Amino acid sequence: MHRPINPDAVPAPIGGYSQAIESRPGLRWLHISGQIPVATDATIPEDFERQCNLVWDHIDQCLRSAGMRWQHLVQVRTYLASPDYASSNSTIRQLRLQGAAPALTVVVAQTLDARWLLEVEAVAAAPH
C-alpha cells in the first residue's frame, strides 16, 4: 500500500519517520485538519505530554472513524510552540504510531491560542 523511500543520497531519518512515502493508485485519502489540545469538555491540559497525547487521541479517533489506523498515515505535520518540546514530541509520536513511519515535518510556530503547545495535522491513505 505504501512504500517508504529513504535514498542513500539523503540523510537517514532519525526518529521514526521516512524521507518520502510512495502510495499506490486507487487509495482513498483522509486529510486530517490540525488537531489541537482541547478536550471535548473544552479543557486544555497544562503540560506538554498530556497535550501531545490528547492531540494523538484526536488523530486516532479521526483515523478510526474512517476505518483507518496508524499504518495508513503518509504525512504528519507538527507545529510546536517551542523547540523545547521537540524531544518529548518525538518520543510520544513514536510510541503512539507503533512503528508506522510517515513522512514528517516539525515546525516551531506560534499557535492560535497561547495555551496550545502544539498542533498536528495528518494525511492518511487506505484501500477502498
Per residue in 53-94, pLDDT (tens digit) is: 999 999 999 999 999 999 999 999 999 999 999 999 999 999
- C-alpha distances in Å from residue 106, one per residue of 9, 87, 118, 120, 121: 21, 11, 10, 9, 11
Specify the pLDDT at position 110.
97
Q: What is the pLDDT of residue 80?
A: 98
- CATH numbers and ranges of domains, the chain: 2-6+14-127 (3.30.1330.40)
pLDDT at 66: 98
Supply the mean pLDDT for the chain: 97
The C-alpha cell at 40 is 471535548
Stretch (H or E) spanning 24: none
Separation CA 11–CA 127 (nearest Å): 31
Q: Is residue 15 over pLDDT 90?
A: no
At residue 48, the pLDDT reads: 98
Q: Give pLDDT, residue 1.
A: 79
**Smallest Cα–Cα separation from 51: which of 97, 115, 110?**
115
Q: What is the mean pLDDT of residues 19-38?
A: 96
Query: pTM of whole model > 0.85?
Result: yes
